[in-house]
């Protein structure tokens, strides 16, 4: 029996899970991409087994203008939509078709060059809500030149990467005396790890500055007035809508765990807990060409994968925790639809829209900026203290990392610096890609990240 679950999936992703080895190393900004593009499109009429790694013959061209903030216009005057996916590429929907490709780059040793006026070969298909047809391969070329951007892939020196992570008691004291919202402490296990391992666990070095959050409008505020002060998907009228916590192992797959956890809980919400599937994260790691396996990926693109290719259940392709070939076992695939960023497009999110989305539709996948004070997080509502490591056993202040989480509830407890300079500060309650432990943990208590050591038992 086929039982596609029509998941109305809306979510936010402001910061993405990346890692030391990077998602793709491309680093293209909104301003680099905005402008007029020519898409060179191959023969259509294929299904989703089309292999766009192979060369293809161009049979048609599409000229499309990508305008501020999310408006696409083609040469026939059709009006559509576009969004960046972080700094990795962009998706366009226009005239009944969708186009997604990663931005072009080359890699030579540790030197990466981004060509933001070009795409790698991407995928186009019908813009259908489920199992789109009429697949083709395409490549994009922007009509105005964007200078190639060179950068070094790794931000660590060899010396730094291999240094041991040492507990910094002075730093911990500073954090604890600066505020009462959360407690810092020492994790004994961390000192067995190198700095590079720590950064990798935390999602890798931050690569990109965030867009400004969209301004909160009167309308947003009015809509948010009706929201409850306290809300938690683990207890809505006595029912828990979250799936069990899982361990992501030593693989940069938190994007897959966050997205599957979002789907799992949204399926529970939509079906009143009558369907409680656990979805395969290994299928994402091994089979999705919209992500980079254990090297990272993006919740937006995995939600697109759910619409284009469908998801399988855990038992179909159990989690291995490392890169492995895509397994061809035939299983029922379940499809999600309606993926998008909260606020509509990348950069359009704000806290009020997140709250509305969370309560009205279910848990959302949220990016989380990991500052180095978070390495010592023990309990409480985390917020960045602005405290800086001192001493030579610690990462420099400039090292920030990204990770992805699932937000499951709301709290009325105030978090200092919740939005600062348009950047979202860590969300006061979420399922967390727990740093240094590689476990998926959920807060025991509203507003708290679970104590990692306790969870491990």
Ligand X SMILES: *[C@@H]1O[C@H](CO)[C@@H](O)[C@H](O)[C@H]1NC(C)=O
**Contact footprint for ligand X (CB under 6 A):** 27, 29, 51, 53-54, 62, 74-76, 95-96, 151, 207-208, 272
96 or 396, CB closer to ligand X?
Answer: 96
Q: Minimum distance from CB of 287 to ligand X (Å)?
A: 9
Phi-psi category of 109—alpha, beta or left, where left has phi over 0 and alpha has psi -120 to 50? left
Query: Measured from the CB of residue 44, what is the shortest distance to ligand X in angstroms?
Result: 10
Nearer to ligand X, 186 or 324 (CB): 324
Angstrom distances, CA of residue 215 to CA of 211, 220, 236, 421? 12, 10, 30, 12
Nearer to ligand X, 92 or 452 (CB): 92
How would you classify residue 89: left for phi > 0, otherwise alpha for psi between -120 and 50, otherwise beta? left
Q: Around Cβ 210, how many Cβ atoms within 10 Å?
A: 17
CB 116, min distance to ligand X, A? 9
Give the shortest CB-327-to-ligand X separation in angstroms: 12
Instruction: Report whether the peptide linkage leading into residue 456 is cis, meaning its omega lies within 30 degrees of zero.
Output: no
Burial letters 325-343, b for 16+ CB under 10 A, else e: eebeeeeebbbbbebbbbb
Measured CA to CA, the distance from residue 270 to residue 258 in angstroms comes to 18
Six-digit token string for 446 = 């509203």
How far is 229 from 294, CA to CA, in rounded Å? 38
Q: 135 forms bridges with which residues in the sheet? A: 46
Given the complex with ligand X, which of 147 and 416 has the nearer CB atom?
Answer: 147
**CB of 432 vs ligand X, minimal distance in Å:** 25
> Closest separation between CB of residue 41 and ligand X, Å?
9
Q: How far is the CB of 258 from ligand X (least distance, A)?
A: 23
Residue 142 · residue 57 · CB < 8 Å: no
The angle, 0 to 180 degrees and rounded to 10, between the axes of the packed helices 218-225 and 351-361 is 40
Computed over its alpha carbons, how large is the radius of gyration of the chain? 22
Query: How are the residues of the chain apportioned to helix, strand and coil, as percentages rounded to the nearest 5?
Result: 20, 25, 50
Angle of the 254-270 helix axis to the 299-308 helix axis, nearest 10: 60
Cβ proximity to ligand X, 92 vs 365, nearer residue: 92
Q: Which is nearer to ligand X, 355 or 400 (CB)?
A: 400
Task: Tell the smallest beta-carbon distance from residue 424 to ligand X (Å).
Answer: 19
The C-alpha atoms of residue 420 and residue 433 are separated, in whole angstroms, by 23
Query: 117 or 448: whose CB is closer to ligand X?
Result: 117
The CA distance from 24 to 43, in Å, is 27
Looking at beta carbons only, is 29 or 303 nearer to ligand X? Answer: 29
Q: Is 401 or 443 the residue whose CB approaches ligand X more closely? A: 401
Q: Tell me the C-alpha distance between 113 and 374, whole Å.
A: 31
C-beta of 89: minimal distance to ligand X in Å?
14
């Amino acid at each position: 029996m086929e039982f596609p679950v029509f998941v109305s999936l809306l979510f936010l992703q402001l910061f993405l899970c990346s890692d030391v080895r990077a998602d793709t190393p491309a680093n293209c900004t909104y301003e680099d991409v905005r402008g007029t593009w020519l898409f060179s499109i191959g023969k259509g009429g294929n299904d989703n087994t089309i292999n766009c790694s192979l060369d293809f013959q161009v049979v048609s061209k599409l000229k499309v203008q990508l305008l501020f903030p999310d408006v696409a216009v083609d040469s026939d005057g059709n009006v559509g939509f576009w969004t960046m996916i972080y700094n990795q590429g962009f998706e366009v929907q226009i005239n009944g078709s969708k186009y997604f490709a990663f931005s072009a780059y080359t890699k030579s040793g540790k030197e990466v060059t981004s060509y933001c006026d070009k795409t790698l070969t991407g995928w186009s298909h019908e813009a259908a809500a489920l199992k789109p047809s009429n697949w083709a391969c395409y490549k994009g070329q922007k009509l105005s030149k964007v200078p190639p951007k060179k950068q070094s892939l790794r931000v660590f020196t060899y010396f730094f990467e291999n240094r041991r992570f040492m507990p910094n008691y002075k730093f911990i004291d500073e954090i604890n005396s600066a505020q009462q919202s959360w407690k810092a402490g020492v994790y004994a296990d961390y000192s067995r790890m190198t700095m590079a391992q720590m950064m990798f666990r935390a999602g890798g070095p931050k690569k990109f500055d965030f867009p400004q959050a969209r301004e909160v409008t009167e309308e947003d505020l009015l809509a948010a007035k009706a929201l409850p002060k306290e809300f938690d998907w683990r207890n809505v009228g006595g029912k828990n809508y979250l799936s069990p916590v899982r361990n992501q192992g030593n693989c940069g797959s938190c994007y897959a765990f966050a997205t599957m956890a979002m789907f799992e809980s949204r399926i529970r919400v939509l079906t009143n807990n009558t369907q409680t599937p656990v979805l395969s994260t290994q299928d994402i790691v091994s089979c999705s060409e919209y992500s980079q396996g254990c090297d990272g990926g993006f919740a937006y693109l995995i939600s697109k994968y759910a619409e284009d290719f469908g998801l399988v259940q855990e038992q179909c392709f159990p989690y291995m925790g490392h890169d492995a070939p895509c397994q061809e076992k035939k299983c029922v695939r379940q499809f999600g639809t309606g993926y998008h960023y909260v606020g509509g497009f990348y950069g359009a999110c704000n806290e009020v829209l997140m709250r509305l989305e969370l309560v009205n539709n279910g848990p959302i996948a949220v990016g989380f900026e990991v500052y180095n004070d978070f390495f010592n997080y023990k309990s409480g509502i985390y917020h960045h203290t602005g405290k800086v490591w001192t001493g030579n056993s610690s990462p420099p202040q400039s090292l920030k990392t990204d990770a992805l989480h699932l937000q499951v509830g709301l709290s009325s407890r105030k978090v200092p610096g919740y939005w600062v300079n348009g950047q979202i500060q860590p969300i006061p309650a979420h399922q967390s890609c727990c740093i240094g432990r590689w476990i998926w943990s959920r807060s025991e208590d509203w507003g708290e990240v679970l104590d990692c050591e306790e969870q491990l038992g």
